[in-house]
Amino acid sequence: MLFSTDVQGPPRPVALAEAHLPLRRILTAITGIYLVQSLIGGFTFQGIPAALRASGASLELIGLFSLVIVPWALKFLWAPAIERYRLPFGGPRRSRQVVAIAQALGAVCFLAIVFAGPQSAWVLLVLLCVLAFAAATADIACDGYAIQQLTQENRGWGNTAQVGGGYLGIVFGGGLFLIILGWYGWMAAGLAMCCLLVLFTIPFLTTPEPQPGDRDAGRHTPSLRFALSRREVRYGLLIAVAFELGVRLVQSMNAPFLIDRGFDLVNLGILKGSGAVVSGIAGTLVGGVAVRLWGAQKCVIAGVVIQAGALLALFAASATTAAPLWLLGAITVAKSVVMAFGFVSLYSLLMGFSSPRQAGVDFTLFQCADAFVAGLAGLASGIIAHRLGYPVCFGLAATFGLAACLAMPRLIRSASDRATLRACP
């Protein structure tokens, strides 16, 4: 079924035997799950901090809630166990069972959060960590399902659903939650999030999962050792780091930079809220079409070049005090479009590097690498910008972006040459 993106290799029996659902059904199912994962992220990292601050919590306490990212960064540790359960030898696949159990645990966590209230900050932190564990587990199964069900030419649309659902989820978890909280209170807002989780999970649970025609494929035991033994995975990790390092270095410093340059909170909220979401969805759709037309390899190379251009523009704007606010806003919106395009292209490529025998494990490794880069780059950017200024921080990001332009073609070629020989076991 799944060969490396843009790579042609000798077909394997399991690929020929694989059955696929109509694309519309697959996209409807996975979009709902990806939207829920992002809803939980927006709820945790945008909605909850605002609610805690409004209830009088200290900034130090609110900062501890960044620990909720840990389950997402470490989910590769239990991904093999999830894949072994999801892909039993000689039996039907269990993607829906995994998602159902994980989402049920998530719904229970939301209900517990409702009754705990924002005043119980430590209880809230524990519940959010459990909620993150449940969401990350569902994500492993959904990724594996998507990689196995999407044909090579449709992976771009699959990643469009992933990234687009992510943007919509932030609107619900970070925006709608706060609106309901302000109008109707904590209980109504929490119950609304719980109901949305259940509602958007239903399409996945009601979508059948075609079974592989070759039962011998189930003899494989998913493991991290097998993943890291594959050259495609090792090079895929390098590609993910090189692609993301520059943009992640500026991501958390973009809003403080705009504030320091004269944006007020209202205008910044409009720009980073509706502006970023609309531009992000636009970039997602363009990325999906581009991957379908030209393939993920070419789109990743194009994406890294465009990203470098956006980072250079941001560096140039930070290096002068003469840049007008409208130009800074335009650069921010353009960066959102470019990042969304890049995400779709990158993850389409990485889907192709994931083995159908343990797609959830391989793809999870790529996502965890991205999460580690985001966390470390976010921490470093704050230190660099504080001590050396925004121009140094953004200039360093642009340098990483230019270096990625030089390295990306060779990295992709190295991974793809190996994939051609093995056709992704």
CA separation for the pair 350, 371 (Å, rounded): 15
Rounded (10°) angle between helices 296-318 and 325-352: 150
- Residue 173: closest CA among 277, 263, 97, 71: 277
**Residue 10 placed within a domain:** no
Residue 14 lies in a domain: no
Supply the pTM of this predicted model. 0.76
9 falls within a domain: no
pLDDT of residue 9: 38
If asked whether residues 309 and 368 sit together in one domain, one would say yes
Final residue of a domain: which of 212, 240, 272? 212
pLDDT for 265 equals 61
How high is the pLDDT of residue 417? Answer: 64
Which residue carries 């990158």 as its tokens? 346
Domain termination residue (choose one: 193, 212, 231)? 212
Residue 381 shares a structural domain with residue 316: yes
- Three-state SS at 93: coil
Average pLDDT for runs of 10 along the chain of length 425: 36 47 88 92 83 76 79 89 85 90 96 89 92 94 88 80 83 84 90 96 90 58 85 92 90 79 73 76 88 90 94 91 86 88 90 82 87 82 85 94 94 72 40
**Parent domain of 99:** 19-212
| Number of domains into which the chain is organized | 2
Look at residue 330 and tell me if it is in a domain. Answer: yes
* Residue 7 is assigned to a structural domain of this protein: no
Q: Do residues 172 and 228 both lie within one domain?
A: no
User: Same domain for 247 and 194?
Assistant: no
Radius of gyration in angstroms for the set of CA atoms belonging to the chain, rounded to a whole number: 21
pLDDT at 309: 94
Do 36 and 164 fall within a single domain? Answer: yes
CA distances from 249 to 231, 244, 344, 350, 408 (A): 27, 9, 19, 22, 18
Asked, for residue 179, whether it belongs to a domain, the answer is yes
User: Do 203 and 237 belong to one domain?
Assistant: no
Asked if 121 and 269 sit in the same domain, the reply is no
Tell me: do 174 and 249 sit in the same domain. no
* Cβ neighbours around 253 below 10 Å, total: 23
Residue 62: per-residue pLDDT: 76
Domain check: are 236 and 196 in the same one? no
Residue 355 and residue 147 in contact, taking contact as beta carbons nearer than 8 Å: no
What is the spatial distance between Cα 172 and Cα 404, in angstroms, rounded to a whole number? 34
pLDDT at res. 302:
94
Neighbours of 268 (CB within 10 A): 18
* Residue 409 belongs to some domain of the structure: yes
Statement to judge: residues 33 and 103 lie in one domain:
yes
Give the burial string for 201-217 (b: 16+ CB within 10 Å, else e).
bebbbebebeebeeeeb
Residue 173 and residue 282 in one domain: no
Q: Could you tell me if 175 and 272 lie in one domain?
A: no
Q: Quote the pLDDT of residue 176.
A: 85
The pLDDT assigned to 239 comes to 94
pLDDT of residue 110: 95
Q: What CATH number is attached to the domain comprising 408?
A: 1.20.1250.20
From 157, 186, 212, give the residue that closes a domain: 212
- Report if residue 4 sits inside a domain: no
